[in-house]
């Protein structure tokens, strides 16, 4: 075996004491990690951030106890590990020295010189846990590797990690702000992921620094990225979406975004639910726009995470307009739509040169909740069209009745699919004239999508739960 920069070990912390000095957001992430491992986390700090207070109220596993005072040497007695979050080397050195004198392994966040061990990026499939370390050289890079583990791990990543270690000191001397240095590592990571088999050279470092400096003051400004989370299966995320999630400071996400997708988010990012559930309590669009703009004006990199594709019935136009009106940089990362995801799982061709020459997406309800009055009923009745209906549950019967009256064949194949691409996906199939009744009988949980057209005949060997027109 070749030399190792760090020995990867997995500590058993269940029921053991972990001392955490500091109350910052960075400390909160370490408290969450220690608690999830079963440790009793004892926090010592006079200033406790909101994230840490919320975490202590509802810890993932082991208790998190907050002591609103500075740490003391006696606090380290019988501790399994000691973690410190300090703004200066003097405080970090004192804490590390006291921990070592007490025989306690110590980690000082983002200060490798005072660390006996380090935390890596984590892929959590407990009891299978994978930890990734770059010896503290490039945390953003480690997060990118975590996202690539589903595929083959390129050997060339080792060269990029080594370059990160070499360049970290030089980067601190380059005169860049904290935000600019972070942007450097994002550029570094993008190149490493896209070109892993090419060894980085000094010219790359110079190029990345020049690119960051070329951004000027914009690098310290906040931004908003609208990201499509896809229909639910995390494997349908795009690489660009993963990179956006891993570089975010704040993530504003909807109810329909799956927890598995959220696992790809940057661990330190603040996650805020701004759910818009149909016919139930929701954040208003105006509130979401205001929050998004306010956070970006604070210099935050904001990700607005939406189920499916943000450009399709995701109110993207309103959010883009709000950002542009506030002079906030805004970008869009498209996602796999629920229609595409459902069709792929059911083996449905959305278009067919013999049966369906056109594909259309429509919404099942108007702003006030009823069937939209301005639908093109002639196109709905066209037998050569495949129609996908979003948000159809309460209006499906009325919509089908009107479409049939306008010429849609009442025997046209149709289906309703719930939670498409997820493990609990369920399908109801029936002629369009009967689908609303069958859907009501099945009582499928949301979100539900309806598909209508002559190509809409799912494969019978689908392993997902299905309910036929006979109610089987």
CA torsion sign, 63 to 69 to 71 to 73?
A: negative
Residue 288 lies in a domain: yes
Domain boundary among 216, 251, 280: 216
Domain co-membership, 65 together with 164: no
If one counts every other C-beta atom within 10 angstroms of the C-beta of residue 196, the result is 18
CATH code assigned at 421:
3.30.950.10
CATH code assigned at 258:
3.40.1010.10
Domain co-membership, 197 together with 254: no
Domain co-membership, 316 together with 412: no
Domain co-membership, 198 together with 144: yes
pTM comes to 0.64
Residue 4 lies in a domain: no
Q: Residue 102, CB half-sphere, CA atoms under 13 Å: how many?
A: 21
Domain co-membership, 352 together with 455: yes
Domain co-membership, 371 together with 450: yes
Give pLDDT, residue 460: 47
Report the alpha-carbon distance of residue 128 to residue 361 in Å, rounded.
41
Residue 204 annotated to the active site: no
Residue 472 lies in a domain: no
Calculated CA dihedral for residues 22, 24, 25, 26, nearest 10 degrees: -50
Q: Which of 276, 297, 355, 402 is catalytic?
A: 276
pLDDT one digit per residue (tens) for the chain, 472 residues: 578 888 888 999 999 999 999 999 999 999 999 999 999 999 999 999 999 999 999 999 999 999 999 999 999 999 999 999 998 999 999 999 999 999 999 999 988 889 999 888 877 666 667 788 887 777 788 888 877 774 555 667 778 888 888 898 899 898 888 888 888 988 998 898 888 888 899 999 999 999 988 877 767 778 999 999 999 999 999 999 998 998 899 999 998 898 889 989 988 899 999 976 555 567 889 999 999 999 998 888 999 999 999 999 989 999 999 999 999 989 999 999 999 999 999 999 999 988 999 999 999 887 777 888 889 999 999 999 999 999 898 899 999 999 999 999 999 999 999 999 999 999 999 999 999 999 999 988 878 999 999 999 875 444 455 554 433 3
Domain co-membership, 210 together with 229: no
Domain co-membership, 206 together with 292: no
Domain that holds residue 305: 221-336
Domain count across the chain: 4
Report the alpha-carbon distance of residue 463 to residue 222 in Å, rounded.
45
Residue 127 lies in a domain: no
Residue 37 lies in a domain: yes
Report the alpha-carbon distance of residue 197 to residue 362 in Å, rounded.
45
Domain boundary among 336, 370, 394: 336
Residue by residue, what is the 3-state secondary structure of 220-261?
Answer: HCCEEEEEECECCCHHHCCHHHHHHHHCCCEEEECCCCCHHH
Domain co-membership, 331 together with 368: no
Residue 56 lies in a domain: yes
Domain co-membership, 282 together with 189: no
Q: Which of 135, 204, 254, 382 is catalytic?
A: 254
DSSP state, 352? B
Domain co-membership, 319 together with 409: no
Report the alpha-carbon distance of residue 319 to residue 375 in Å, rounded.
24
Paired tokens of 118? 């380090």
Domain co-membership, 227 together with 212: no
Give pLDDT, residue 436: 93
Q: Which of 127, 114, 122 is nearest to 139 (CA)?
A: 122
Residue 276 annotated to the active site: yes
Domain boundary among 308, 336, 364: 336
Paired tokens of 56? 């202590």
Residue 33 lies in a domain: yes
Give pLDDT, residue 364: 87
Residue 279 lies in a domain: yes
CATH code assigned at 31:
3.40.50.720
């Amino acid at each position: 075996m070749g030399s190792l920069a760090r020995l990867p070990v997995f500590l058993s912390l269940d029921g053991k004491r972990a001392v955490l000095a500091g109350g910052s957001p960075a400390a909160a992430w370490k408290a969450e990690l220690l608690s999830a491992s079963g440790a009793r986390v004892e926090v010592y700090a006079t200033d406790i951030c909101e994230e840490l207070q919320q975490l202590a109220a509802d810890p993932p596993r082991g208790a998190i106890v907050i002591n609103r005072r500075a740490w003391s040497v006696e606090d380290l007695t019988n501790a399994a590990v000691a973690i410190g979050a300090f703004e200066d080397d003097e405080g970090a050195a004192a804490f590390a020295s006291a921990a070592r004198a007490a025989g306690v392994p110590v980690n000082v966040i983002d200060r490798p010189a005072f660390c006996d061990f380090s935390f890596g990026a984590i892929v959590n499939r407990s009891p299978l846990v994978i930890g990734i370390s770059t010896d503290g050289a490039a945390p953003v890079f480690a997060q990118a590797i975590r996202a690539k583990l589903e595929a083959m791990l390129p050997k060339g990543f080792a060269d990029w990690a080594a370059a990160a270690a070499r360049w970290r000191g030089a980067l601190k001397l380059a005169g860049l702000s904290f935000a600019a240095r972070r942007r450097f590592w994002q550029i570094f990571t993008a190149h490493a992921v896209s070109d892993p088999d090419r060894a980085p050279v000094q010219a790359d470092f110079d190029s990345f620094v020049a690119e960051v400096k070329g951004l000027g003051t914009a690098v310290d400004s906040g931004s908003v990225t609208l990201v499509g989370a896809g229909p639910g299966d995390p494997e349908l995320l795009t690489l660009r979406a993963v990179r956006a999630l891993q570089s975010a400071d704040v993530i504003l996400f909807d109810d329909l975004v799956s927890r598995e997708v959220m696992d790809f988010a940057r661990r330190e990012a603040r996650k805020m639910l701004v759910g818009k559930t149909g016919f139930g309590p929701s954040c208003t669009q105006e509130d979401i726009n205001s929050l998004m703009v306010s956070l970006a004006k604070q210099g935050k990199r904001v990700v607005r995470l939406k189920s499916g594709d943000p450009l399709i019935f995701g109110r993207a136009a309103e959010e883009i307009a709000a950002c542009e009106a506030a002079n906030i940089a805004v970008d869009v990362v498209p996602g796999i739509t629920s229609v595409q995801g459902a069709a792929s799982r059911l083996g449905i061709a959305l278009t067919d040169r013999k049966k369906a020459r056109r594909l259309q997406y429509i919404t099942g309800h108007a702003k006030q909740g009823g069937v939209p009055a301005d639908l093109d009923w002639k196109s709905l009745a066209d037998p050569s069209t495949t129609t996908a209906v979003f948000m159809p549950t309460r209006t499906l019967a009325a919509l089908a009745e009107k479409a049939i009256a306008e010429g849609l064949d009442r025997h046209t194949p149709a289906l309703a699919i719930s939670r498409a691409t997820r493990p609990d996906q369920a399908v109801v199939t029936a002629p369009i004239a009967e689908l609303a009744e069958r859907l009501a009988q099945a009582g499928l949980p949301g979100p539900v999508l309806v598909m209508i057209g002559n190509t809409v005949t799912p494969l019978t060997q689908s392993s997902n739960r299905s309910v036929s027109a006979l109610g089987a």
